[in-house]
């Protein structure tokens, strides 16, 4: 029987002064690579500081295509090693975080005139299965046109030759990043300040040395600190030195759940680029555009032409499904920090730039890591920590991420303790796919304080206890942290507007340190929603032009 009380975590959001150290490792950047590195090092017994200028996963790591996948399309580029590694890591994550990473079937339709014919698809499926070495969520196979339509009834039948069926996984990307943060916090054996994790903490300067001297500023309290660390890893994503990157912008739209049980891998009729329709948290993610990007990552925006590019193709492929710009629940764009390649062949398109990561020594005890795929973050972290702490061993491929201890939903259900059975099973299931085996912490709060059982808004299922839990244990500093990254309320019909006041009120009542700029944060959140409203109104014009 599961004892959720045993998993109760110490309250993290106290924003204590940052101690000087020295620490074994300081990680700059709270995306998937940085948090994965912090977790790996902490599990090896190292003292670790992780600093993120914004919220954890606020950058590219929250703007992914929501897939944990081997990269079947990389096979035609003969990146066999990359696909093999990604398939292995997919297998690990399905086991380590079953509440956040779920198997998902994908259909790859083949139409007359497509660049990839049935024989090429069949060969790709064969290789994809073999490279998984038996660690596959399901068996790949070819489908007749009739079988494709049976699985995807709304799909355009004209010109359909058949298709392929393969399996990958879908994830909650922001909470997977957070799970690595929580794992790093819980890994410390000595307690105290062995592991320090701080969002909204900017690294102002790094002076390499033995140890390196880091100046950091807490953006909530405005305090400045000096920290000493024997090793420093910069995992800055698209904020890495631009000379090292070939940045690629990926724009996505989120629609209400389309009539799909399977994901779709599709080829755009205009230019032959690959894009996906991905079932995600009761919605459908459509993307990505994947275009070169030379601006600042701070200024990335989704443009009406990009939304039109995706919407036109969805309408063409699903002629019987009425979809307009008013149906769009949200949009997001991220910058993939692809490692720049040099060679004799000149520039390549973003879709063909290698997803292999790079590790570069920047100075005495300081290194940078960039590039790679979300799917392979654990392997990247293991390699980085192996390099800076040789002789130690990683355990991250075996130790479940927080919330994954009880296994899949059916396995968790069988072990459900009596104190939770009084709650509706549908509510427990909803919470499981967010908190996993830690959902009992949320429901314990609601039992102790009945007023926390109330919903944040009649429009949403989230209850007030979730906000308190996330403030106390999941590093929520601003309402947007909860609405956009601890939950997906940001991508609902009202964009989380109806819940914002309740979240802010609960934060003011429960946060150990209330940010002085909550009014600024509110204005920024609603301005972003306003820009998206304007975007919707411009999409139809872009389509018609």
pLDDT in tens, 69-81: 999 989 988 889 9
Rounded distance between C-alpha atoms, residue 148 and residue 260, angstroms: 12
Rounded distance between C-alpha atoms, residue 275 and residue 292, angstroms: 16
Report the domain count for the chain: 3
Pair 273, 338 in one domain: yes
* DSSP secondary structure, 103-131, as one string: EEEEEEEEETT-SS-HHHHHHHHHHHHHH
pTM comes to 0.95
Domain that holds residue 159: 100-170+243-352
User: Do residues 105 and 167 lie in contact, with contact meaning Cβ atoms separated by under 8 Å?
Assistant: yes
Looking at the domain assignment, is residue 71 inside a domain?
Answer: no
**pLDDT tens readout for residues 402-438:** 999 999 999 999 989 888 999 999 999 999 999 999 9
- What pLDDT is attached to residue 191? 54
- What pLDDT is attached to residue 353? 52
Phi, psi for residue 127 in degrees, rounded to 5: -65, -40
Looking at the domain assignment, is residue 92 inside a domain?
Answer: no
Pair 293, 442 in one domain: no
Pair 277, 161 in one domain: yes
**pLDDT tens readout for residues 234-249:** 999 999 998 999 999 9
**CATH code at position 204:** 3.50.50.60
What average pLDDT is seen over the chain? 92
Looking at the domain assignment, is residue 252 inside a domain?
Answer: yes
Looking at the domain assignment, is residue 1 inside a domain?
Answer: no
- What the block records as the tokens of 434 is 């967010």
Looking at the domain assignment, is residue 428 inside a domain?
Answer: yes
More confident residue, 220 or 115: 220
**CATH code at position 115:** 3.30.9.10
Lowest-confidence region among 157-166, 450-459, 469-478, 533-542: 533-542
Looking at the domain assignment, is residue 442 inside a domain?
Answer: yes
Rounded distance between C-alpha atoms, residue 368 and residue 485, angstroms: 26
**pLDDT tens readout for residues 42-66:** 999 999 999 999 999 999 999 999 9
Pair 358, 347 in one domain: no
Pair 233, 370 in one domain: yes
Average pLDDT over residues 459-478: 98
Pair 490, 469 in one domain: yes
Pair 159, 283 in one domain: yes
Pair 157, 249 in one domain: yes
pLDDT tier for residue 374 given thresholds of 50, 70 and 90 = very high
User: Do residues 202 and 219 lie in contact, with contact meaning Cβ atoms separated by under 8 Å?
Assistant: yes
Looking at the domain assignment, is residue 131 inside a domain?
Answer: yes
- What pLDDT is attached to residue 443? 97
pLDDT tier for residue 90 given thresholds of 50, 70 and 90 = very high
- What pLDDT is attached to residue 77? 85
Pair 293, 432 in one domain: no
Pair 145, 198 in one domain: no
DSSP H or E segment with residue 472: helix 464-473
Rounded distance between C-alpha atoms, residue 248 and residue 289, angstroms: 9
Share of residues in the chain with pLDDT > 70 (%): 94
103 burial via Cβ count (<10 Å: 0-12, 13-18, 19+): middle
Pair 132, 148 in one domain: yes
Rounded distance between C-alpha atoms, residue 473 and residue 356, angstroms: 34
Phi, psi for residue 453 in degrees, rounded to 5: -80, -15
* DSSP secondary structure, 487-518, as one string: S-GGGSTTTTHHHHHHHHHHHHHH-SS--TTH
Angle at the Cα of 389 from the Cα atoms of 384 and 392, rounded to 5 degrees: 105
**pLDDT tens readout for residues 321-357:** 999 999 999 999 999 998 886 543 344 555 555 568 9
Lowest-confidence region among 185-189, 221-225, 362-366: 185-189
Looking at the domain assignment, is residue 393 inside a domain?
Answer: no
Pair 260, 140 in one domain: yes
**Residue in the structure block whose two tokens are 């993120």:** 52
């Amino acid at each position: 029987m599961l004892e959720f009380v045993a998993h109760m975590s110490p309250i993290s959001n106290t924003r204590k002064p940052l101690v000087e150290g020295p620490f074994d490792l300081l990680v700059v950047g709270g995306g998937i690579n940085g948090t994965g590195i912090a977790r790996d090092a902490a599990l090896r017994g190292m003292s670790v500081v992780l600093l993120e200028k914004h919220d954890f996963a606020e950058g590219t790591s929250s703007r992914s295509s929501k897939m944990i996948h081997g990269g079947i399309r990389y096979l035609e580029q003969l990146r066999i090693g990359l696909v093999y590694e990604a398939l292995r890591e997919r297998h690990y994550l399905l086991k380590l975080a079953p509440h956040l990473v779920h198997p998902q079937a994908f259909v790859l339709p083949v139409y007359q005139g497509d660049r990839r014919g049935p024989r090429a698809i069949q060969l790709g499926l064969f290789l994809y299965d073999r490279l998984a070495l038996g660690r596959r969520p399901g068996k790949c196979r070819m489908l007749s046109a009739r079988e494709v339509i049976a699985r995807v009834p709304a799909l355009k039948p004209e010109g359909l030759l058949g298709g392929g069926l393969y399996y990958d996984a879908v994830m909650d990307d922001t909470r997977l990043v957070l799970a690595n943060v929580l794992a790093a916090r819980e890994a410390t054996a000595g307690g105290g300040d062995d592991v320090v994790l701080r969002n909204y903490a900017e690294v102002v300067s790094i002076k390499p040395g033995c140890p390196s001297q880091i100046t950091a500023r807490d953006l909530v309290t405005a305090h400045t600190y000096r920290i000493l660390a024997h090793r420093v890893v910069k995992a800055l994503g698209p904020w890495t030195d631009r000379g090292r990157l070939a940045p690629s912008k990926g724009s996505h739209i989120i629609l209400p759940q389309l009539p799909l049980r399977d994901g779709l891998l599709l080829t755009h009729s205009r230019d032959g680029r690959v894009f996906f329709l991905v079932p995600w948290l009761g919605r459908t993610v459509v993307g990505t555009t994947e275009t070169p990007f030379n601006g600042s990552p701070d200024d990335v925006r989704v443009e009406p032409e990009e939304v039109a590019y995706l919407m036109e193709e969805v309408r063409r492929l699903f002629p019987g499904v009425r979809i307009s710009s008013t149906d769009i629940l949200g949009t997001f764009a991220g910058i993939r920090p692809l490692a720049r390649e040099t060679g004799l062949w000149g520039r390549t398109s973003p879709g063909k730039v290698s997803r292999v990561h790079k590790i570069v020594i920047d100075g005495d005890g300081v290194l940078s890591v960039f590039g790679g795929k979300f799917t392979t973050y654990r392997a990247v972290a293991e390699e980085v920590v192996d390099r800076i702490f040789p002789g130690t061993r990683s355990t991250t491929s075996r130790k479940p991420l927080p919330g994954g201890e009880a296994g899949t939903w059916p396995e968790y259900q069988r072990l459900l303790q009596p104190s939770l059975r009084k709650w509706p099973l549908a509510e427990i299931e909803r919470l499981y796919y967010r908190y996993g085996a830690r959902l009992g912490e949320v429901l314990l709060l609601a039992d102790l304080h009945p007023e926390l059982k109330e919903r944040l808004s009649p429009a949403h299922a989230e209850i007030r206890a979730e906000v308190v839990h996330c403030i106390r244990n999941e590093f929520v500093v601003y309402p947007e942290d909860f609405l956009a990254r601890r939950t997906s309320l940001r991508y609902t019909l009202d964009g989380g507007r109806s819940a914002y006041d309740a979240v802010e009120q609960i934060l003011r009542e429960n946060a150990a340190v209330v940010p002085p700029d909550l009014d600024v944060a509110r204005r920024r959140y609603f301005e972003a929603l306003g820009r998206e409203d304007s975007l919707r109104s411009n999409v139809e014009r872009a389509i018609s032009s």
